[in-house]
Structure 1
Amino acid sequence: MFYIESMRLRLIPLTHQLLQQYHTSRPEMESALGLNHSEIKIDPLYVTEIEDALVNFWLPKTLAFPERYQWFTSWEIVLKSDNISVGGIGFNGLPNEKKEAEIGYMIYENQQGKGYATEALQAMANWAFTHEEVETVVVQTAADNIPSRKILDKNGFVLAGESENILTYKLVRS
């Protein structure tokens, strides 16, 4: 099984089969990964977004692009010490013609404030930069999402634009 690691975290991209298990039963998917059951607390707004991404993006795209599924799926953010999932992170598809790869992330409410998003974002950006088709990593966040903006600042992302209270941050390969 492919994954990347940082000091405290293991980031596991979910294959099409694992996404199908996730859709049917998250505990079964966690078992298939050999994880301990995670106590998950998610804002209801994000539950709807995750379901939409699962049905309308992750499942169809990982089926269509099995050899490059890592760009089209959710990656479990696993705390190595407890072997539990603390959130998810992933790309919004293949890098575009400007060599930009967009990332989104979410840490479960009961796991926030522990530096996991900062560490996971750094690991994912580093992985993206190992691909020659990526020169810039992009993240969009709500203007009022101060914790997310702090995570981006800690990782060296620079504010690159704003549209309708959505901020765009970019990190260019050094």
Structure 2
Amino acid sequence: MFFIESQRLKLIPLTNQLLQLCQSDRREMELLLGLNPSSMEIDPLYATELEDALLHFWIPKTQEFPMLYYWYTNWEIVLKSTNTSIGGIGFVGYPNEKKEAEIGYMIDANEQGKGYATEALKTLSAWAFQQKDVDSVIVRTAHDNIASIKILDKNGFRLVSKVDDLLTYYLPKQ
């Protein structure tokens, strides 16, 4: 099983098979990965977005691009000390023609404020920069998502645009 890790976290990209199992029985998917089952608390808005991503993006795209699945999937954020999933992070597809890889993330409400999203974003960004088709990472967030803006600032991202209430942050390869 492929994964990357940081000091406190393990990031596991889910294959198409794991995503399908997650859709039908998340607990079984976690057990298959050797994890302790989680009981994540997710804001209803994010839960709807995650379900939509699972059905309309992650599952079909990982089936369409099985050799590049890590660009089209959820990466489970696993807290190594408890061997429990505490959120998800991932790309919104293969890097674009400008060699930009876009990342999104979500952390269990019970685990927020502990630096896990900051660490996960740093780890996945570093992995992305090791790939030949990535020269920068971008993240889009709502203008009122202060926690996400702090995470981006801590990782050295810079605000590059605002369209309506959506901010775009940019981090170039060093």
Deviations 1:10-41, CA, capped at 9 Å, x for gaps: 00000000000000010000001000011210
Q: Does 1:118 align with 2:118?
A: yes
**Alignment partners' CA distance in 1, 2:113 and 2:80:** 17
| 1:69 alignment partner in structure 2 | 69
Other-structure match for 2:85: 85
| Identity level (%) | 63
Matching residue's letter, 2:113: G
Give the corresponding residue for 2:138: 138
Partner residue, 1:151: 151
Scaled by the length of structure 2, what TM-score is found?
A: 0.99
Q: What code does the residue aligned with 1:107 have?
A: I
Superposed CA offset, 1:49-106 (max 9, x none): 0110000000000000000000000000000010000100000000000000000000
Q: Distance in 2 between matches of 1:158 and 1:45?
A: 26
Q: Aligned AA for 2:80?
A: K
Partner of 2:14: 14
Looking at structure 2, the residues matched to 171 and 129 of structure 1 have their Cα atoms a distance apart, in angstroms, of 10
Q: Gaps (5+ residues) in structure 1?
A: none
Letter in 1 for 2:171: L
1:128 alignment counterpart: 128
Q: Which residue of 2 aligns with 1:26?
A: 26
- Separation in structure 2 between the aligned mates of residue 13 and residue 74 of structure 1, nearest angstrom: 6
SS at match of 1:67: helix
Q: Distance in 2 between matches of 1:63 and 1:46?
A: 24
Which runs of 5 or more residues in structure 2 are unaligned?
none
Count how many residue pairs are aligned between Structure 1 and Structure 2: 174
2:147 match: secondary structure: helix
Q: TM-score, normalised by structure 1?
A: 0.99
Residue 161 of structure 1 aligns with an amino acid whose one-letter code is S
Whole-angstrom distance in 2 between the partners of 1:122 and 1:172: 13
Paired residue type of 1:171: L
Q: Give distance in 1, aligned partners of 2:71 and 2:107.
A: 19
1:132 deviation in Å?
Answer: 1.5
Q: CA RMSD in A?
A: 0.4
Aligned to 2:51, the other structure's residue is in SS state helix
